[in-house]
Amino acid sequence: MPEATGAASRIVLETRDVGKQYKLDGVEVNALRGVSIAIRSGEMVSIMGPSGSGKSTLMHIVGLLDRPTTGQVILEGDDISNLSPNQLAELRNRYIGFVFQSFNLLARTSAQANVELPLVYAGVSGADRARRATDALERVGLGNRMGHFSSQLSGGQQQRVAIARALVNNPSIVLADEPTGNLDSRSGIEVMAMLQELNAQGITVVLVTHDDRIARHAERVIRVFDGRVQAEEIVGNRVLAAQELASLPAGEVAG
Amino acid sequence: MNLAESFRIALRALNANKARSILTMLGVVIGVAAVILLVGIGTGVQDEITGQVEGLGSNLLFIVPGQYGGSMGGDQAPPSRRFTIEDSDLLARRVPGVDAVVPVLQAGSTIKRGNRSVRVVVAAANEQGGEVFSGTLEGGRGYRKSEVQAAARVVAIGSTVRETLFPGQDPVGKVVTLEGQRFTVVGYYESMGGGLAGDQDSQVYIPITTAQRVFNLNYINTIVVKATDPARIEVVKADLRRVLTPRYGEEFTVFTQEQTLGLLSDLLGTLTYMLAGIAGISLLVGGIGIMNIMLVSVSERTREIGIRKAVGARTYDILSQFVIEAVGLSVLGGIIGISIGWGGAVLMAKFTPVPTNVTPWAVATAFFFAAGVGVFFGVYPAWKASQLDPIVALRYE
Ligand SMILES: Nc1ncnc2c1ncn2[C@@H]1O[C@H](COP(=O)(O)OP(=O)(O)OP(=O)(O)O)[C@@H](O)[C@H]1O
Ligand SMILES: [Mg+2]
């Protein structure tokens, strides 16, 4: 399998023959049937497939939010299969940042406090926390919206707050599940530009999507179908969101 | 995450849902206020009554017919034979070291003057009655020995009686009707303030011989003995028993002041605990309200819990957040309830005849009980929240 980035980069996250079964009213649903993937440090990878193919299930498992029925998940070289819920919580806190389709920000809570949340559970003290949250919000271009509540922000801005929250504790990997799914096209492009920029700065990004065009923002695409990996390919003509943004008719500049 | 952080999160959550927080708290507020007020009343009444009994002096002995055990209730025989004035006279002659031996008879009646009338308690004694009753004469005099001997129809009246029958007048020398007989008022007493211990302002005092005649009785209720030296009270008690035993066997009981007080505070203490128990039930109901709201709040905030867990909250973090929320509600409710209950008790003492006394002990108990209610009823919802699977919580709509 060809390497998109430097061949020397280490594997951050790996699944070995992961299966996931759900039981619904006695009927077994095989959401995943033996998925083995590896994500390397600094990569930007898309997991792509049609609706119901098991993308989200896979993302929840690699994000340690859910446990596989069979197989192993290896994070930073360690098998996490036998860890307690609290140990998983600590690993999520330290190594993983999430960006969800529906933003999942705390309501009636300022952007600043939302971004601070992972640091609160990491035990970072008040002043340090505020400084790092400010940095993260500035990085996503929201330095001037720190005191706003989620409800006072546009969808695109909310998703950028979520990206800042994902970044703030310097994770090994950022997992984004349909991050543009609830956004208009311009905001979507802005969010993709943001993720590409972060990746360029060295952050590992895994993008889950059903949309071929969104998937081609990554360097590599893993195609999932019916709970299996169908194909993996290097993206030839990568979409660069920043260029796209520049070519759009000048709208109001976000942020 | 440290505790201070849990506190901030909990306070923010309570603040975000002000109306609901206040309504939930109301249950605890009412419960605690009720505990403070009712216990305050119980304690106040207890203090006042024991104070009044103590005010009579520590050298009093009370002799009543019948056998009484050491404690309240239970093994009391109905009085078989009652005392007479002769018993009282006998004791006065035969028992040394006493200042006064007072036969007492009490009865309810109505006293009239013209078209005015008032319900009274008739307290009858001999001329030494003043030694054992606590009132102070405001005008006139008490009845004399000669009047007791002659069974004269003279009366000294309490302040309520005077105000009702003789508004703005001096009653001395005037005539009133009691049990169909005409009595001359010889004196009247200062107001003692309405106590719960029996309204002494509605009493009238007449010679015991007169009372026996108008009520057509040949017995008396009680003999009250005042010992000269409080230190020798047990000796006097033994002497009283020695004189009465040949006549009554074991069918009488001599109480010292101390015993009377003991009986009274037993009874009143039980009453206070009963009041506290009733009020405690409302506090319990308040606690169930907290549990109810916390359960609602947990299911409403399932998504929030999922988000927190996704970014690294551990079981303990979620548990402490929700427990602190519940305890915060109950403690705040407790503080407000204490203020209201205390304020109510103070106002009640000021504007009604009901005496109240809010003790630090009652306040502390109510406070910790309220906090305990928060912990007890908050732990289950908080535990439920902490056990939520992050993925289930995130999927929750
Ligand atoms: N909690 C669950 N209980 C039962 N079945 C589930 C559960 N979660 C997912 N599934 C099933 O597993 C399969 C994969 O679901 P998943 O959410 O991973 O799909 P997806 O690829 O993310 O789809 P979409 O693009 O629509 O988000 C589906 O058939 C779904 O019905
Ligand atoms: Mg999905």
* Best probe residue, ligand 1, of A56, A182, A208 (max atoms within 8 Å of C-beta): A56
DSSP β-bridge partners for residue B129: none
The confidence score (pLDDT) of residue A255 equals: 46
Determine the atom of ligand 1 nearest the C-alpha atom of A59: 18
Query: What is the β-pairing status of strands A70-75 and A173-177?
Result: unpaired
> Are B287 and B34 a contacting pair, CB within 8 Å?
no
Q: How many residues does chain A have?
A: 255
- Are the beta carbons of A93 and B312 separated by less than 8 Å? yes
The confidence score (pLDDT) of residue B17 equals: 83
Q: What pTM, to 2 d.p., does this model score?
A: 0.73
Q: How confident is the model at residue A250 (pLDDT cuts 50, 70, 90)?
A: low
Q: Give the residue among B12, B7, B24 at the shortest CA–CA distance from B301.
A: B12
Whether the predicted pLDDT of A33 surpasses 70:
yes
* E strands, chain A, in order: 11-24, 27-40, 44-48, 70-75, 78-79, 96-99, 173-177, 204-209, 220-225, 228-234
Q: Does the beta carbon of A53 lie inside 6 Å of ligand 1? A: yes
Looking at the partner chain, which of B2, B303, B311 has a beta carbon nearest the beta carbon of A93? B311
* Best probe residue, ligand 1, of A53, A100, A175 (max atoms within 8 Å of C-beta): A53
Say how many CA atoms lie within 13 Å of A49 toward its Cβ: 23
* Cβ contacts of B313 on chain A, cutoff 8 Å: 89, 121
Q: How confident is the model at residue A40 (pLDDT cuts 50, 70, 90)?
A: very high
Q: How confident is the model at residue A251 (pLDDT cuts 50, 70, 90)?
A: low
- Are the beta carbons of B1 and A118 separated by less than 8 Å? no
Instruction: Tell me which of A103 and B201 has the higher pLDDT.
Output: A103
Whether the predicted pLDDT of A28 surpasses 70:
yes
> Are B52 and B195 a contacting pair, CB within 8 Å?
yes
The confidence score (pLDDT) of residue B68 equals: 73
Cα B118 from Cα B160, distance rounded (Å): 9
Q: Does the beta carbon of A227 lie inside 6 Å of ligand 1? A: no
Whether the predicted pLDDT of B6 surpasses 90:
no
The confidence score (pLDDT) of residue B207 equals: 94
Ramachandran region of residue A75, left (φ > 0), alpha (ψ -120 to 50) or beta?
Answer: beta
Query: What is the β-pairing status of strands B175-178 and B98-113?
Result: antiparallel
Q: Give the residue among B171, B155, B158 at the shortest CA–CA distance from B207.
A: B155
Mean pLDDT of B293-310: 91
The confidence score (pLDDT) of residue A1 equals: 44
The confidence score (pLDDT) of residue B78 equals: 55
Cα A177 from Cα A101, distance rounded (Å): 6
How near does any CA of chain A get to the CA of B301, in Å?
10
Cβ neighbors of B33 (< 8 A, separation 6 or more) are B337, B338, B340, B341, B344
- Measured in angstroms, how far is the CA atom of residue B391 from the centroid of ligand 1? 12
Chains A and B form CB pairs within 8 A to the count of: 61
User: Mean of the per-residue pLDDT values for chain B?
Assistant: 87
Instruction: Tell me which of A203 and B56 has the higher pLDDT.
Output: A203
- Are the beta carbons of B16 and A104 separated by less than 8 Å? no
Ligand 2 is a single-atom ion; what residues have CB below 5 A from it?
A: A 56
* pLDDT tens digits along A176-228: 999 999 999 999 999 999 999 999 999 999 999 999 999 999 999 999 999 99
> Are B203 and B158 a contacting pair, CB within 8 Å?
yes
* E strands, chain B, in order: 60-65, 98-113, 116-125, 137-140, 154-157, 175-178, 181-189, 203-207, 222-227, 252-256
Domains of chain A: 41-64+94-247 (3.40.50.300)
Residues in B lying within 8 Å of A, measured between beta carbons: 1-2, 5, 9, 12, 16, 303-304, 306-317, 390-391, 394
Residue having the nearest C-alpha atom to atom 22 of ligand 1: A56
> Are B313 and A121 a contacting pair, CB within 8 Å?
yes
Q: Quick one: what percent of chain A has pLDDT higher than 70?
A: 95
* pLDDT tens digits along B101-140: 999 998 899 999 988 999 999 999 998 888 777 778 888 8
How near does any CA of chain A get to the CA of B373, in Å?
28
- Are the beta carbons of B312 and A123 separated by less than 8 Å? no
Instruction: Tell me which of A178 and B16 has the higher pLDDT.
Output: A178
DSSP β-bridge partners for residue A97: A174
* Cβ contacts of B395 on chain A, cutoff 8 Å: none
Looking at the partner chain, which of B1, B315, B394 has a beta carbon nearest the beta carbon of A120? B1
* pLDDT tens digits along B169-208: 899 999 999 999 999 999 998 887 655 445 778 889 999 9
Whether the predicted pLDDT of A3 surpasses 50:
no
